[in-house]
Each structure stands twice: as structure tokens, then as C-alpha cells.
Chains A and B, each alone.
Chain A
Amino acid sequence: MTFVPAKQRLEPWSWLGVPFLICAIASVLLTVPIRAFGVGLPQPVLALVLAFAWAVIRPSVLAPFLLMLFGLFLDLLWGGPIGLWGLALVAAYGLILAVRPTLTGRGIAVLWIWYAAACLLAFGVGVLITFAKTSEIPNPWSLGWQILITILLYPFAGRLIARYEDADVRFR
């Protein structure tokens, strides 16, 4: 039997709880009505960083439920349709979970591309739900801008993966 030091174990509060809280606080901060030259703060979907990184680090039963919770939080915070972001985040998590075996050991470019694919899927789910409820497709420019700034957040996902991917030796 191999002895595993406590600091090398993946504690849920460490790789799930702390990033969850950081993203929630950052999301609230980005709703502050600051305007510079007529432009407000960008509002990327920070939770997509979690959806991607959590799926890559290791499969978890808790992660989808936390993502659903975060999605509900975003819907209430932004005043959007209830369930939209929960479903979108879980869809992105499911995609990365399905392709997880192909992602191990890949470089940053491949991971970034799959992160972008997860973002596109999440926003695609959002567009479908919006179309189903309002018969209206959101403006492509507005949509593209939010997708772009969300995709640019990959370095945060990469850092989270690098921090926790090899932290638990039991899953090597």
C-alpha cells in the first residue's frame, strides 16, 4: 500500500470550492457599472474556465452539480433565463469529459482549441435556448464579443490544470 501525503491529495474544497468562489466574486465585480469612453466592463463567462479545467483535471460527480449551481448564480446575477447558463456549462463539461482521454499529455495549443470548442458549444446551447424562448437569435457581434473574451481566458484554465492535474498521485 502506497502512502499518500495529505498535501498531494485532491481535496474538493481546494480544486472545486476555492476556484468556484474566486470566479463567483470576479463575476460580481464585473457587474459594477463602470464606463470608460462609453464602454462598460467586459463580461466573460468565467465559469467556462472551471467547466474545462475541472473536466481535464479529473472526473468528478460533484463538478457538474457545482457548475449547475454556478449557472443558476449567473442567471440570477445577470437576470437571464433561469437554467440557461447551468445547461450551457454542463454541456461544455460533458464535451470535455467525453474527449478527456485524448487530451492527456497534449500541448497548450490543443488544449486551447478544445477550450474554444467547449466555449462555442456552451454559447450554442445559449443561442438555442434563447431562440426557443423568444424566436430571436442574439446579435452575432454581441455574441462574438463575449465568446472572444471568454476564449481569451484560457490561461486561467491552464494554470488551474497545471496546479491540480498532477496533485493527486493516486490518479496517475
Chain B
Amino acid sequence: MSLRDGPFQDIKVPLTWTAAVAVVVTAVIGVALVLGDRRETVQGHASEVARDAFDRVARPVSGILDAPVRWVDGGVAGVRSYFFAVSENRRLKQEVADLTHWRNDAIALRHDNERYEALLGLRTDPPIPMVAARVIADDHGPFAQTRLADAGVEAGVRSGNPVMTEHGLVGRILGVAKGVSRILLLTDVSSRLPIMDDRTDSRGILTGDGSGAPTLEYLRGDQPVKAGDRILSSGDGGLFPRGLPVGEVYQSIDGNWRVRLDADDGPIDNVRILLFRDVSQLARQPGLSSTSIPPLAPADAAQVAAEANAASQSSAPPASTSHPTHAAATAAPTVAATQTAPHLTVTTTATHGASAPVHAPVAASAHPAAHLKHRPATAASSGAPPAPDDTMPPT
């Protein structure tokens, strides 16, 4: 017996009311979905699975739709280079002449830098491997500004990896699937990037707001920035390496400090994904938080016991720790220098906190590297075409 033939056959619910109930039900579903979404975090979450599956399906579709655009772009570029070859050749010759002395200076400075780093025992960051990818979809609304790139998990891409063009930083990987990854642009309203001013070293947070120029927030210090300052990634938090070029500061008409992104100097069609993993991401966090003191040598143990006895006999307050290793670990200065004749022992703490003692034959105060400023990597903006096994010089 169907419902129509039953006792409810004479009951007629107004269609508007049933539609209204459907609206309420779908609204509740929508609220639940919004509350369950964790798009703005780097950690994995349930909705990431749906996103990755969708992106995996969208990749071939977007690739097909993008193909005619690439063909037309290639054709236009070919025609343009044919007709403007002479003027371009003249311009490039002038540019090469201008850049030659910069190249020589750069080589000399690199040699100096390497020598100083060796003398100081600085532990520089290892080269960062990169993969090249092509942007196949572009989404630029006020609530979401993302791109789809055609390199995925098989290329080693992971969520949180920084993304650059030859001009500067673009954003980070939001989600990754096989053959495709989604880039969250710096301009997205949920994007936050720890930055520093190249001139003053002052720190802040670059906050996307859906416009083309993100704002600078949480700036510290007196007049920390001024118009024209270069902004770089600070590396704070460990998600991005330090020193990636971001853009240039200007003051907008609403009085806010904003950043004109370097990546806007050219189209974001080909990008480099930095397969960067900071030591804080690689390390086992519980292991970092627990302190394990290595066992003492017999001679040291006897000395410690004697000192403890002496301390207890003189009723002096017990020391917090008498272990030299522990004491050195808890001190953790940024740059600690102690002189031991005839050589100078310099203990430098590198960017990520690891220390490396070296013996230097010169006094620290007189060393020219005492004034050496750690310069950011600029090789990413060298303009060289990206290669799958491309690596970035150490920062």
C-alpha cells in the first residue's frame, strides 16, 4: 500500500512550508560544515580529504581548459619576439653590461661570506630542493584566493611548502593530492606570514585581506617600517625559510602599511614549490621538550659528589644543576663567546638553535665578521628557469 492510498492521503502540506523546512535543514548542514572546516590551519583535517579528492578530479579538466590559453600565449610570445627581436637584443646587451660588475661583486662577496662562515662555524641552512609547477586554475574572489598547480605528492610536495615565482613569494601549499596541489596566495584572507623588514630587522605579520596588497600587522618598535622598505620572510615559526623576498612597503590611503608583492611583477603561471622542512617540523616534538642528561664520566661523577658534599656541609643553597652539559644547554645564548688562551673558543647558535663550538685564532671583537649581516637568499629571484631538481642556495 502506498502512502497515497493510506490515511495520510488527504493531508496536504503547503509546498512553501516544506521548502522552508528544507531551507532550515540545509542551513543546519551548512553551519556544521563551516564549523568543521579547518582550512586556515596547516595541520591535516577531515575536509582536506574532500579537497584533495576534488583537486585530483579537477586537475585534468583544468589542464584541458588551460591548454588553449597556453597555446595562444605561446603564439603571441613567438610573434612578439620575432617582431621585437632587434630591440630586445639591444636591451639585453645593455642589461648584461650593467650586470657584469654586479656579478663580479657577488662572486667576491660570496667568497668572503663563505670564509667568514667557516671561521665563525656558522651552521648555514642546507640547500632547499624545489619542484617546478604550472598554474592550471586561478581563483580570485574576496573569500578565497588560491591557484591550482600541476605538481603533487609524487613530487614530494607537502602542505605548508612555500611557493615562489622568479620574482618573489606567492604563498604556500594548502592541500596536495596526486599530480596536483592547491596554493594559498599571500593575498587570501586567511593567509598569515611572519615577515621582517630588511632595513630595520623589525618583525611583523603579513595579513591577506582579499585585495592585491596584504597589510602589515603586529609591527613592533618605533617606526619599524617606512615606504620603500623591502619585506622578507622572517622564518619565525619554522614554516617558511628566512629571507624569501616578499615585496615592498607602501602606505595606502586608509593609513595602513601594505606590501606591494614582488610576485605581481609578472604573471603567476609557472611557480617553484620549495620542499622546505624546518628542523622544528622534522624533529619529534615530545623529544624536544624532554631533557635527557647524558651519564657522567667516573671522574666527573666523583667531582660532582665531592662538590655536593661540600655544599651540604657549608649549608649553602643547592645549585639548580651542577652538570656542565646541562648548564651549557640552559644558557643558550644567541652568540656566546668565551676566551680560552691561547685560542678563542666561540660558540655560535645558528638559526635553529644548534650550537657548534669552533676554535678561532682571532679575537671575536676584532673579527670582521662581527659586523657581517646575514643576508637573505636572492637566488630565487635570479630569473633562471625552474628545473625539477633545482635547488636553492643556503640562506
Asked if A162 is at the interface of the complex by the 8 Å CB criterion, the answer is no
Asked if B143 is at the interface of the complex by the 8 Å CB criterion, the answer is yes
Asked if B324 is at the interface of the complex by the 8 Å CB criterion, the answer is no
Chain B residues, CB < 8 A from A71: 30
Asked if A58 is at the interface of the complex by the 8 Å CB criterion, the answer is yes
Do the beta carbons of A133 and B190 come within 8 Å of each other?
Answer: yes
Do the beta carbons of A97 and B23 come within 8 Å of each other?
Answer: yes
Query: In the complex, which of the residues A33, A61, A146 contacts B136, with contact meaning CB atoms closer than 8 Å?
Result: A33
Do the beta carbons of A91 and B27 come within 8 Å of each other?
Answer: yes
Complex Cα–Cα for A61 and B33 (A): 20
One of A1-9, A112-120, A137-145 contacting the partner: A137-145
Complex Cα–Cα for A166 and B332 (A): 79
B148 to chain A minimum Cβ distance, whole angstroms, is 8
Size of the B side of the interface (Cβ < 8 Å), in residues, is 59
B177 to chain A minimum Cβ distance, whole angstroms, is 12
Given the known interface contacts A87-B27, A97-B23, the answer about A31 and B209 at a Cβ–Cβ threshold of 8 Å is no
Do the beta carbons of A84 and B34 come within 8 Å of each other?
Answer: yes
Chain B residues, CB < 8 A from A58: 15
Chain A residues, CB < 8 A from B18: 59, 61
One of B62-70, B96-104, B311-319 contacting the partner: B62-70
Do the beta carbons of B144 and A90 come within 8 Å of each other?
Answer: no
Asked if B267 is at the interface of the complex by the 8 Å CB criterion, the answer is yes
A46 to chain B minimum Cβ distance, whole angstroms, is 12
Asked if B310 is at the interface of the complex by the 8 Å CB criterion, the answer is no
Asked if B127 is at the interface of the complex by the 8 Å CB criterion, the answer is no
Size of the A side of the interface (Cβ < 8 Å), in residues, is 53
Do the beta carbons of B23 and A64 come within 8 Å of each other?
Answer: yes
The total of Cβ contacts below 8 Å across the A-B interface reads 178
Chain B residues, CB < 8 A from A41: 138
What 0/1 readout, one digit per residue, does chain A (45-87) give for beta carbons within 8 Å of chain B? 0000000000000111111110110011001111111111011
- The chain A residue with its CB closest to the CB of B139 is A78
Complex Cα–Cα for A58 and B18 (A): 12
Give the secondary structure class of A's interface. Answer: helix
Do the beta carbons of B19 and A64 come within 8 Å of each other?
Answer: yes
Do the beta carbons of A78 and B144 come within 8 Å of each other?
Answer: yes
Query: In the complex, which of the residues B37, B39, B69, B146 contacts A34, with contact meaning CB atoms closer than 8 Å?
Result: B69
Do the beta carbons of B27 and A142 come within 8 Å of each other?
Answer: no
Do the beta carbons of A83 and B34 come within 8 Å of each other?
Answer: yes
Do the beta carbons of B211 and A142 come within 8 Å of each other?
Answer: yes
Complex Cα–Cα for A68 and B136 (A): 26
Chain A residues, CB < 8 A from B170: none
Chain B residues, CB < 8 A from A43: 139-141
Asked if B325 is at the interface of the complex by the 8 Å CB criterion, the answer is no
Chain B residues, CB < 8 A from A60: 15, 19, 22
A74 to chain B minimum Cβ distance, whole angstroms, is 9
Do the beta carbons of A134 and B40 come within 8 Å of each other?
Answer: yes
Query: In the complex, which of the residues B26, B47, B69, B143 contacts A32, with contact meaning CB atoms closer than 8 Å?
Result: B69
Chain B residues, CB < 8 A from A110: none
Do the beta carbons of A33 and B19 come within 8 Å of each other?
Answer: no
B186 to chain A minimum Cβ distance, whole angstroms, is 13
Complex Cα–Cα for A16 and B80 (A): 47
Chain A residues, CB < 8 A from B277: none
Asked if B350 is at the interface of the complex by the 8 Å CB criterion, the answer is no
Q: Which of A77-112 contact B (CB under 8 A)?
A: 77-84, 86-87, 90-91, 93-94, 97, 100
4 closest A-B pairs by CB: A83-B33, A80-B144, A79-B146, A87-B30
Interface contacts beyond A76-B50, A79-B182, A87-B27: sample of 17 additional A-B pairs, CB < 8 Å, sorted by A:
A31-B138, A31-B148, A43-B140, A43-B141, A61-B18, A62-B22, A64-B26, A68-B29, A80-B143, A83-B34, A86-B29, A86-B33, A130-B189, A134-B189, A134-B190, A138-B209, A139-B210
Chain B interface (Cβ < 8 Å from any Cβ of A): 15-16, 18-23, 25-27, 29-37, 39-40, 47, 50-51, 54-55, 58, 61-62, 65-66, 69, 135-144, 146-148, 174-175, 182, 184, 189-190, 207-211, 267, 269
Question: Could you name 8 residue pairs across A and B whose Cβ atoms are closer than 8 Å?
Answer: A43-B140, A77-B58, A78-B144, A79-B146, A94-B27, A138-B209, A142-B141, A143-B142
